[in-house]
Amino acid sequence: MRKATVWSIWAYLVLLIFEGALRKWVLPGMADAILIIRDPVVLLIYGLALSCGIVPRTVFMPLIGLLVIASIGCSMLAGQTHPLVIAYGLRTNFLHLPLIWVMAEALDRKDVNRMGNFLLLTAIAMTVLMAVQYKSPRDAFVNLGVGGDADAGIYGALGKNRPPGFFSFITGIMMFFPLAAAFFLNQATAKRHMWWPLLLACGLCIIIALPLSISRGAMIATCFVGVSLVIGMLRCGQFFNATILRTGLMAIAVLIGLSFLPIFAESREVFMARWETAADESGGQGFGSLVARVGGVFDTTMQYVNMAPFFGYGIGYGSNVAAKILTGERGFLLAEDEWGKCVMELGPLLGFAFIGFRIIIAIYLLVLAWRAIKEHKDTLPFLIWTAAAPPIVFHQWAPPTILGFAVIGGGLLLASLNYTDDEEDEDEESSEENSDDDKTDKSADESDLDRHRRRRRGIAS
């Protein structure tokens, strides 16, 4: 059953990447239903995990339970009692969260490396598709939007739309490439798990895809992952070793070579045009609009505090699904930004409690990632954290893709800490994979190993 749990987590990851393709091209008539296609999968994962004794022993589980109860109570007191609206709100805020800790218990470092390789290989296909979308007319089949909409693209610059790849919207690209870059940079500078020409191709595709996306968010988030690598290597005292120097020289050579690639040169021009347009809108500062966007989160949230009732308007009330159920039309009944929506739905007190809970999760993951650098000279958890922290803390969770990457990122980080004992006992594990998966009895050594893993992640005494 443990292996079935792992395969179910794989199914969750694969659907996260390709559910947009299903909604756009394969089953456009079922686009709304596919929006929640991973919900049954996550419930299956929980059921399989419980059946084989995987129960996350962490303080976060009871906290999630308390927030669920408080959210329902506030919704009732606010007079928002529509069961479907409440259910969708609970699903958005809480249903997928426990998967972070289930992944931490079910996966090991080898599983994380395999999933990282999958993301890197997918980056090649993603970049090729983005290039085709970039070069194709807006009404081409590859540029169809959700439900087969022929005019669903988001404008970038110089007459080009932002290519979303397999995802429904460009936000998927913003979440995907920073996480893929985390695994690429780890393999490029530490232990390589992929044939080096193939790894190089993955890196080239990531570099090409960033300007091709015409997304400043994707570019900057991926650059932050690169900065975190430098910080981690400096902390490990490994920044000036021969491997890093060779990697740096290779990267410079690759960038020079890419500058002569026609599609890279063209997409770079379009990306810079988008950057200059944003700079003009913010008074000539390229980073001005981005800084204003981040700062605006705090400003608008405080404005919503003064507008929100004490118990809010009810969980789920600010979602597009609630708008469709209650008014018959899609839209935002409360606020578009995540923190403002939380405050308006749950009220100032519970809203800030939920926001604080998400911040605490990010800090908890950061502490463990930094500990891995100090104790094991392992930068991968810190790289994953850099990619996963923004969707965990700031981004909206109502879009299933963003929620999925927040959960997958957190789960991969925790599971990546399960590496020392698994690598030492690799031969024993390979023989165990051929044994009966349905055995329910566990050896004392395995129990000790599980307890050791939890202690290392700070979730058990």
Q: Indicate whether 392 pLDDT > 50.
A: yes
Residue 323 phi/psi, 5-degree rounding, is -60, -40
Q: CA-to-CA distance for 418 and 104, rounded, in angstroms?
A: 8
Distances (CA, A) of 107 to 46, 100, 375: 14, 11, 21
Q: State residue 442's pLDDT score.
A: 43
Task: Supply the DSSP symbol for 102.
Answer: H
Q: State residue 149's pLDDT score.
A: 77
DSSP structure string for 402-438: HHHHHHHHHHHHHHTT--HHHHHTHHHHHHHTTS-TT
Residue 282 phi/psi, 5-degree rounding, is -110, 25
- Mean pLDDT for 129-145 is 91
Q: Predicted confidence band at 373 (pLDDT cuts at 50, 70, 90)?
A: very high
Q: State residue 302's pLDDT score.
A: 84
DSSP structure string for 1-49: -HHHHHHHHHHHHHHHHHHHHIIIII-GGGHHHHTTTHHHHHHHHHHHH
Q: Predicted confidence band at 190 (pLDDT cuts at 50, 70, 90)?
A: confident
Buried-exposed string 16-54: b where 16+ CB fall within 10 A, e elsewhere: bbebbbbbbeeebeebeebbebbeebbeebbebbeebeb
The lowest-confidence range among 28-42, 229-243, 379-393, 409-423 is 229-243
Q: Nearest-5° angle of CA 144, CA 176, CA 143? A: 10
Average pLDDT of every residue of the chain: 85
- Mean pLDDT for 128-147 is 90
| Structure confidence by residue, pLDDT tens digits, 92-118 | 999 999 999 999 999 999 999 999 999
Q: C-alpha 5: how far from its chain's center?
A: 20
Which structure tokens are listed for 213? 């996306």
| Structure confidence by residue, pLDDT tens digits, 410-446 | 999 999 999 755 454 443 443 344 344 444 444 444 4
Asked whether 179 and 405 are in contact (CB, 8 A), the reply is: yes
Q: State residue 440's pLDDT score.
A: 43
Residue 71 corresponds to which amino acid?
A: S
Q: Indicate whether 239 pLDDT > 60.
A: yes
- Hey, CA dihedral for 164, 287, 224, 253, is it positive or negative? positive
- Mean pLDDT for 321-339 is 82
Q: CA-to-CA distance for 322 and 313, rounded, in angstroms?
A: 12
| Secondary-structure breakdown of the chain: helix, strand, coil percentages, each rounded to the nearest 5 | 75, 0, 25
Q: State residue 240's pLDDT score.
A: 65
155-157 and 160-161 as β-strands: parallel, antiparallel, unpaired? antiparallel
**% residues pLDDT > 90 (the chain):** 56
> In 3D, which of 174, 394, 216 has the Cα closest to residue 297?
394
| Structure confidence by residue, pLDDT tens digits, 242-264 | 666 667 766 777 777 777 788 88
Q: C-alpha 404: how far from its chain's center?
A: 6
Q: CA-to-CA distance for 409 and 103, rounded, in angstroms?
A: 10
Q: State residue 269's pLDDT score.
A: 84
- 157: part of which helix (H) or strand (E)? strand 155-157
Q: Indicate whether 158 pLDDT > 60.
A: yes
Q: Indicate whether 183 pLDDT > 50.
A: yes
Q: Predicted confidence band at 460 (pLDDT cuts at 50, 70, 90)?
A: very low
| Structure confidence by residue, pLDDT tens digits, 38-74 | 999 999 999 999 998 888 889 999 999 999 999 999 9
